Structure 1
Amino acid sequence: MKYDLIILGSGPGGYVAAIRAAQLGLKTAIIEKDKVGGVCLNIGCIPSKSLIHQAETFSRIKELEYMGIKFNLDNFNYKKIFEKSRKAADTLSKGVQYLLKKNKIDLISGEGKLLNKNEIIVNDKDIYTSKFILLATGSKPKSIPGFEIDEVLILSSNGALMLENLPKSIAIIGSGVIGIEFGYIMNSFGVEVHIIEILDRILPTEDLEIAEFLEKVYKKRNIKIHKSTKSRIIEKTKNEITLELESEDKKNIIKVEKILVAVGREPNTKNIGLEKIGIETEKGFVKVREYYKTNADNIYAIGDIVKTPQLAHVASKEGEIVVEHIARHSTEKFVDIYKIPSAIYSEPQIASLGYTEELLREKNIQYNKFSFPYRGVGKSIAIEKSEGFIKILTDKETNEILGAHIIGAEATELIHEVLLAKNSELLPEDISEMIHAHPTLSEGIMEAFRGIEGWAIHI
């Protein structure tokens, strides 16, 4: 069968691109070897956020005990929590299948490989032809030497999500988003957590003040953070792993039941036929030009297999750019990396966009800065979520919004007011003078921008 567009992979990049393509009149098919929805819906964003939600609920036991309510946790069963996370993933995967069917997109099950610039072979037998091809095969957890993942004692994020019973203790190698989120989940349910980071700070891609604030919060919760630390396994038994930690000429021994390797993800670009037709890659990532074109003009690549932030919403937007270009509907060439919101579902939450202070200094850009504490917002006190702050960065000459960094309750929702302002080329005075409902957490955004202007009220 011949198509206008065939998409290899049905994650947030692939399925969103397929739906948009169908809306624009392109005859479209998706090839998927596993479950529809990709990593994000099935073993990533969605089930992990379900676990985080339930960890938050579990943590509220102390609040209820303050009211005099008594709990007996003898029959606590983590498997029930795991089952809820799987239900959330399955529900959304079925929802995507429905959307594909509704939009008359052909879903082809199997493993697809490029035969040539216009043909893909599925399961080494069925051949499909298309004018255009979009590669959206996503990524998988990275492994590191000496910590070979077996999903029994040494876990990837996939294995951690599929745990039906919690360990008593865990060492998390890496303090990026995955390590930080799992650290929160495990700690909330009473697991002894060690986060081991080879660099001198946690969350290396986030604003330094945000990272330092979260580190203090985590330490208060008895999460043990080991920075500037190398680790190696010195003994492994059926039920326990002994690790040697080395930092600043000091050595320490810890014993844990599980290890989670959370050192990032690598692109799924092997065995999809790239070499056969000469698609250029660099360190496993597909090289792309404007509109996410590869060196083959009718073949495009998006999401985790290209060198852009490995975020579901980035992949979705890239997919939209590709199909709108193919359909001659839009001239947008790339996602602007300084307008991408980042979200970390720790407790407190973290959200950011644009430049960090470190990057501004590195680029010698002169800037203004103001941080407004959550405790200055009435609602944060009322709901007992006063931990955190909102930081705004603007250009010293033009007052243009350069960056925003939030740590605190609902940060991942609040960031979008700043993003809308930046996209609309608004200035701090436009937000600071806008009436915000009281009491809301979004008043903190207003106050932070008033602070940039020099007239914050509640501080």
Structure 2
Amino acid sequence: MSAKTFDVVVIGAGPGGYVAAIRASQLGLKVAIVEREHMGGICLNWGCIPTKAMLRSSEVFHLMHRAKEFGLKAEGIGYDLDAVVKRSRAVAKQLNGGVGHLMKKNKVEVFMGAATLPGKGKVSVKTDKGTEELAAKNIILATGARARELPGLEADGKRVWTYKHALQPPHMPKKLLVIGSGAIGIEFASFYNTLGAETTVVEVMDRILPVEDAEISAFAKKSFEKQGMKIMQKAIVKELDRKADKVIASIETGGKIEKVEVDTVISAVGIVGNVEGLGLEGLGVKIDRTHVVTDEYCRTGVEGLYAIGDIAGAPWLAHKASHEGVMVAELIAGKNKVHPVKPESIAGCTYCHPQVASVGYSEAKAKELGYEVKVGRFPFIGNGKAIALGEPEGMVKTVFDAKTGELLGAHMVGAEVTELIQGYVVGRQLETTEEDLMETVFPHPTLSEMMHESVLDAYDRVIHI
């Protein structure tokens, strides 16, 4: 049977793949997309979106307990975990359907099945009905990543969970151990801790949220501990002794082994790229530690083959994948002035309580790169809107190049910082200096005023502290 021919075949319909397909179609190319499980990928079905829906429930639950502070009455406060999960799944389902609709609207042909690359410019898709052969001059790999499993700490879905089990929990943890304090680990720790689980977080590095600025990590740690979480840093889970109703974890810290008994463990120790079974080695694609090696334009070195998103390496963020998808589609369509995505211009957001967000270099990284820096800070307690919201805990930190006034990095912890960070992201994109930011009129009363004050503080002009 003859192969169906396209200009572009995208493998994987997550936030990288489906966006690449839409943009390629907008540019007049004939596009097919292959997806083996769900439209929208992990992000939309089992990641970013359903976790935010669950975290919203725990946030509202937390606020209900604070009703009295706001002059309100709420009695007999409780939760129904099944209903929380049901809402989260419904949100994911709605968006999954939305992606399907976008494919139709943009005339992208969808093939549900597992793809392999039998040769250059060829894609073979194993579907329920048999095998479909596709041909295209350009192929975009957007197969994403999955949870890393450490030997001895593998998930079983009963007592030891990955993020997927944590999103559809078989029971409510009473005593929870979270291994790993990156965004995924901390978000689940925050969710279950707020609902009343006695939560311990184990981090192998010397601080939690290790990719964040050290000051922000320290602030977040204090907040979590105040909420009753136990944080163990520079600690390694050596083994899990699994019983029917509990798990005994042996945790090495400071050269000693401590035994911790819990009823549930969530493993969030990073991710590995989905590179197997595609036939990449046969095509001569370079793979380094489960990730496809690419140049800054996401080219793999094999003509007409690109890799975007998680499979192409850090930062492992949906918005990075989407931007790479657009860039590659424009490159294929022959557009002039295609800009590569710079990792340091991508913001990271963590939706724990308090929220954490950052863009650019941490203070330590900027110094390590040889910059002379000016650093500004502003606390939430000095902001009228934060106090009115009942959210006086948090801080905004900005890092500038002392010589040029370039904004090198911005780091925040506190209410709604995942929305605020975008102001600094735009600023960096426009190559703003401290002067531009100081002369910008921020509306009052808003949380965003703290962004202004943090800049002023870096230049000894802060007003409200």
Report the TM-score when normalising by structure 1.
Answer: 0.97
Q: Tell me if structure 2 keeps the 8 A contact 1:374–1:388.
A: yes
> Gaps (5+ residues) in structure 1?
none
2: CA distance, partners of 1:25 / 1:321: 15
Pair 1:72 & 2:76 matched = yes
Who is 2:176 aligned against? 170
Of 400, 406, 426 in structure 1, the residue corresponding to residue 412 of structure 2 is: 406
2: CA distance, partners of 1:299 / 1:236: 45
Q: Tell me if structure 1 keeps the 8 A contact 2:287–2:293.
A: yes
User: Taking structure 1 as reference, are residues 372 and 319 closer, same or farther at Cα in structure 2, changes over 3 Å only?
Assistant: same
1: CA distance, partners of 2:421 / 2:448: 9
Who is 2:327 aligned against? 321
Q: Tell me if structure 2 keeps the 8 A contact 1:429–1:450.
A: no
2: CA distance, partners of 1:205 / 1:409: 20
1: CA distance, partners of 2:414 / 2:168: 28
In angstroms, what is the RMSD of aligned CA positions?
Answer: 1.3
Of 164, 167, 176 in structure 2, the residue corresponding to residue 161 of structure 1 is: 167
Pair 1:60 & 2:52 matched = no
- Deviation at residue 117 of structure 1 after TM alignment: 1.1
- Deviation at residue 249 of structure 1 after TM alignment: 3.1
Of 122, 125, 144 in structure 1, the residue corresponding to residue 125 of structure 2 is: 122
- Deviation at residue 248 of structure 1 after TM alignment: 1.4
Q: Tell me if structure 2 keeps the 8 A contact 1:448–1:456.
A: yes
Pair 1:81 & 2:87 matched = no
Query: Matches of residues 11-26 of structure 1 in structure 2 within 5 Å?
Result: 11-26=14-29
User: Taking structure 1 as reference, are residues 155 and 164 closer, same or farther at Cα in structure 2, changes over 3 Å only?
Assistant: closer
Q: Tell me if structure 2 keeps the 8 A contact 1:137–1:269.
A: yes
Q: Tell me if structure 1 keeps the 8 A contact 2:374–2:459.
A: no
Who is 1:283 aligned against? 289
Who is 2:186 aligned against? 180
- Deviation at residue 419 of structure 1 after TM alignment: 1.2
Of 131, 134, 143 in structure 1, the residue corresponding to residue 140 of structure 2 is: 134
Once the two structures are overlaid, the 10-residue window that deviates more, 64-73 or 446-455, is 64-73
User: Taking structure 1 as reference, are residues 50 and 434 closer, same or farther at Cα in structure 2, changes over 3 Å only?
Assistant: same
Once the two structures are overlaid, the 10-residue window that deviates more, 224-233 or 297-306, is 224-233
2: CA distance, partners of 1:370 / 1:38: 39
Who is 2:444 aligned against? 438
Deviations 1:14-47 (A, max 9, x none): 0000100110001001000111000000000000
User: Taking structure 1 as reference, are residues 399 and 155 closer, same or farther at Cα in structure 2, changes over 3 Å only?
Assistant: same
> Gaps (5+ residues) in structure 2?
none
Who is 2:367 aligned against? 361
SS of corresponding position for 1:61: helix
Deviations 1:70-125 (A, max 9, x none): 42256x32000000000010000101111110011001111111011111111172
Matched letter for residue 416 of structure 1: Q
Aligned residues: 458
Deviations 1:258-298 (A, max 9, x none): 11111111100000110222212112211112421112110
Kindly, what percent of the aligned residue pairs are identical?
A: 37
Report the TM-score when normalising by structure 2.
Answer: 0.96
Pair 1:382 & 2:385 matched = no
Of 222, 236, 239 in structure 2, the residue corresponding to residue 233 of structure 1 is: 239
1: CA distance, partners of 2:341 / 2:328: 11
1: CA distance, partners of 2:245 / 2:187: 24
User: Taking structure 1 as reference, are residues 41 and 178 closer, same or farther at Cα in structure 2, changes over 3 Å only?
Assistant: same
User: Taking structure 1 as reference, are residues 426 and 70 closer, same or farther at Cα in structure 2, changes over 3 Å only?
Assistant: closer
- Deviation at residue 323 of structure 1 after TM alignment: 0.6
Once the two structures are overlaid, the 10-residue window that deviates more, 311-320 or 243-252, is 243-252
2: CA distance, partners of 1:153 / 1:289: 41
Matched letter for residue 426 of structure 2: L
- Deviation at residue 230 of structure 1 after TM alignment: 2.0
Who is 1:199 aligned against? 205
Matched letter for residue 49 of structure 1: K
